[in-house]
């Protein structure tokens, strides 16, 4: 599988998992059934974290290195993606920490904190996606003359 196709596939899986998790968190209530929900969300979050780290690593290790090799070291769009990737990983870790701290059934404040941090992560994911889209719009025909994009 070519790099753009691989990144597209990884991105689509992340996006789908984020949408599913958003639905679960929005429908969560603070009662005994949420203990089961949080028990399911924690391993799911671990898996999503591995996918996210793999995606960022692949993008930086191959795509962005290729871009800087072809287009130069000071490409503003690459720097922007790197900044968004770092912020994205930080936001995810913040969400994960909040989720890991939920231990008491019926703790509305903890659930609200998890939701808030997840929304920050989602907003960061959208900004990162927009930076990638901008990069591909500007440089895809140079890097991939046959045409390619991750979105």
pLDDT single digits (tens) 53-95: 999 999 888 888 888 887 777 788 888 999 999 999 999 999 9
> pTM for the whole thing?
0.84
Q: Place 34 in a pLDDT band, splitting at 50, 70 and 90.
A: low
The residues, ordered by sequence, that sit 6+ positions from 85 with a Cβ below 8 Å of its Cβ are 56, 59, 60, 128
Residues ≥6 apart with Cβ < 8 Å to 128: 81, 84, 85, 87, 88
Where do the structural domains in the chain lie, given as residue ranges? 34-140
Instruction: In whole angstroms, give the CA distance from residue 51 to residue 53.
Output: 6
């Amino acid at each position: 599988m070519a790099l753009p196709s691989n990144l597209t596939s990884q991105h689509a899986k992340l996006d789908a998992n984020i949408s599913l998790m958003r639905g679960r968190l929005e429908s969560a209530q603070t009662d005994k059934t949420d203990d089961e929900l949080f028990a399911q969300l924690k391993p799911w979050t671990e898996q999503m974290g591995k996918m996210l780290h793999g995606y960022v690593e692949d993008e930086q290790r191959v795509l962005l290195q290729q871009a800087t090799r072809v287009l130069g070291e000071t490409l503003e769009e690459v720097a922007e993606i790197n900044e968004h990737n770092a912020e994205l990983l930080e936001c995810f870790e913040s969400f994960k920490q909040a989720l890991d701290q939920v231990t008491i059934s019926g703790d509305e404040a903890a659930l609200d904190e998890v939701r808030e941090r997840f929304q920050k992560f989602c907003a960061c994911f959208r900004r990162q996606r927009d930076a990638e889209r901008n990069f591909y719009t500007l440089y895809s025909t140079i890097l991939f003359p046959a045409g390619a994009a991750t979105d």
